[in-house]
Amino acid sequence: MPTTPDLSTAVWRKSSYSNNDGGGCVEIADDLPGIVPVRDSKDPDGPVLIFPTHCWSAFISSLTAAATEVRPAP
């Protein structure tokens, strides 16, 4: 059975795209070796998704590529 990582030392941060209107945001802690935990900023004591660092990097790379893609007008 997988072990639960110790997140007590995690330094959480919100996306630079977040605003301060109290809306829902995700937070990540990218200071832990080998993993990137993700949580809901409205529920910091709630569940946390844990991604291997290489999977998180691939996810961010795909978002960056999609954001720079030229799409035809509808």
pLDDT digits (tens, 9 = 90+) for 12-34: 998 777 766 666 788 999 999 99
Which of these, 46, 50, 47, 45, lies nearest to 30 by C-alpha position? 50
Q: Which domain holds residue 55?
A: 26-67
Q: Is 14 contained in some domain?
A: no
CA–CA distance, 2 with 9 (Å, rounded to integer): 20
Q: Is 42 contained in some domain?
A: yes
Q: Is 16 contained in some domain?
A: no
Instruction: Identify the pLDDT of residue 11.
Output: 95
Q: Is 17 contained in some domain?
A: no
Q: State which H helix or E strand residue 65 sits in.
A: helix 53-68
Domain count of the fold of the chain: 1
Q: Is 12 contained in some domain?
A: no
pLDDT digits (tens, 9 = 90+) for 24-68: 788 999 999 999 999 998 899 999 999 999 999 999 999 888 878
CA–CA distance, 18 with 25 (Å, rounded to integer): 6
Residue type, 31: D
Which of these, 34, 37, 35, lies nearest to 12 by C-alpha position? 37
